Amino acid sequence: MEITDVESIRFTYQSHRTRDEKGHSHPAPPREATGQLTRIAVDGGPDGYCVGGSPAANRVAKRYLVGSNPLHREQLWSDLYRSQRLHAGTLYTKAIAAIDCALYDVAGKAADLPVYELLGGSPDPVPVYASTMVGDDDPDGLGTVDAYIDFCEDLVAEGYGAIKLHSWMPPFDANPDRVVRLCRAVREAVGPEIDLMLDSHHYYSRSEAKRIGDALGELDFRWFEEPMDEYSMSAYTWLADQVDVPILGPETAEGKHRIRAEWAKRDVVDLGRVGVFDVGGITPARKTAAVYEAFAMECEPHGNSIPELHHTCAMPTVASYFEWGLLHPKYDYEERSYPYLTDFPTPADGVIAPPSGPGLGYEFDWDMIEGNRVE
């Protein structure tokens, strides 16, 4: 089995979302957007695919991967990882992640096993939390406390047992007192039985984060996520020491399993975090989860991708929740989020199970993709 190409398949599709000036997603009128798949072409074995990746990164990666056996993931991942230093900005971590996931797709198909099972995991359904989009200024969207209350009540009525609020972030008003008002109002609306989490802003000061964290402890929130810049372990150590609500992280900090091991070593926060696309693929996500488990530390997965779901089902300690969304009252997530897939796992009764097909189990709509290819 030999890799012959690392291809980028780009295509246009109708998007119903847009990004604000800071990069957060919100619902929007239909517009043409460009999607991307990464394809590992294999001679003598199945091709592997992953949604995402980068054409520039794949061009660089090709120089390292072509001619190698796609099953030798440890070596291939290590080659890509070490090449990041010389290709900073091009061979970025999320792009490596897409390649690593596509290699897992190859391996699962070659073994005729879904990736979660290749990894020794089980298909037991995982509870999900409804993860809201970042708030906006739309009074019928997520622009006010009342709008959030309406939406959260709808989510509970739909069967979600847990909700994560993204409250507001710049350019919208992210004043800590407003966020506390929101959290208090949502807790009152949904009652004590629903698990609530807050993921807010990412750049609060220590004092602002403490002000919010104190309230979340009182309101029995399950966790408080990324309120501050994750490059200061000291700030997180300080915060976790000051407040009762469990602090979760790191999510986006660069440094893969290594920086997460340093956080775990120092007991910086209460709950660990792993995201396949944050750490560079399933290969380093496995290592990250192993580190947390070795320190008997809970580890919560980040993001709602199919590779993430496989990894979650194979974690040594099954996560308390899989993230589902980002959801918004004016955005039909199940209808709109995967226009290039004919089928994908969706939650029912508050839980989600991984796809059962070999590899990552993507069901691509090839007619749609091929009919809309762009170079």
**CB 177, min distance to a copy of itself, A:** 39
Of 10-18, 118-126, 168-176, 201-209, the segment contacting a copy of itself by CB under 8 A is 118-126
Subset of residues 194 to 223 that bind a copy of itself, contact rule: CB under 8 A: none
Decide if residue 258 touches a copy of itself (CB under 8 A).
yes
Decide if residue 356 touches a copy of itself (CB under 8 A).
no
Decide if residue 164 touches a copy of itself (CB under 8 A).
no
Of 53-61, 66-74, 161-169, 175-183, the segment contacting a copy of itself by CB under 8 A is 66-74
Looking at 23, 85, 296, 367, which residue binds a copy of itself (CB under 8 A)? 296
Of 105-113, 181-189, 203-211, 238-246, the segment contacting a copy of itself by CB under 8 A is 105-113
**What is the DSSP code (8-state) at residue 230?**
T
Decide if residue 351 touches a copy of itself (CB under 8 A).
no
Decide if residue 314 touches a copy of itself (CB under 8 A).
yes
For 291-328, give one letter per residue: b (16+ CB within 10 A) or e: bbbeeebbbbbbbbbbbbbbbbbbbeeebbbbbbbbbb
Looking at 39, 286, 310, 311, which residue binds a copy of itself (CB under 8 A)? 286
Decide if residue 82 touches a copy of itself (CB under 8 A).
no
Paired with 13 in beta bridges are 33
Decide if residue 113 touches a copy of itself (CB under 8 A).
yes
Decide if residue 360 touches a copy of itself (CB under 8 A).
no
Phi, psi of 206 (to 5 degrees): -55, -45
Write the binding mask 219 to 238 for a copy of itself: x where contact by CB under 8 A, - elsewhere.
--------------------
Decide if residue 105 touches a copy of itself (CB under 8 A).
no
Computed on alpha carbons and rounded to an integer, the radius of gyration of the chain in Å comes to 20
Taken in order 224, 217, 268, 270, the sign of the CA dihedral is negative
Phi, psi of 208 (to 5 degrees): -65, -45
**What is the DSSP code (8-state) at residue 126?**
E
Own/partner contacts of 65-70, CB < 8 Å, gap of 24 or more, are 65/3, 65/6, 65/40, 65/99, 66/3, 66/4, 66/5, 66/6, 67/2, 67/3, 68/2, 68/3, 69/1, 69/2, 69/3, 70/1, 70/2, 70/3, 70/40, 70/42, 70/45, 70/103, 70/106, 70/107
Decide if residue 112 touches a copy of itself (CB under 8 A).
yes
Decide if residue 290 touches a copy of itself (CB under 8 A).
yes
Of 42-50, 64-72, 130-138, 234-242, the segment contacting a copy of itself by CB under 8 A is 64-72
Tell me which amino acid residue 181 is.
R
* Tokens encoding 158: 């739909």
d(CA 57, CA 95): 6
Decide if residue 310 touches a copy of itself (CB under 8 A).
no
Residues at the contact surface with a copy of itself, assessed by CB under 8 A: 69, 71-75, 77-78, 107, 110-113, 117-122, 124, 257-258, 260-261, 265, 283, 286-288, 290-291, 293-296, 314-316
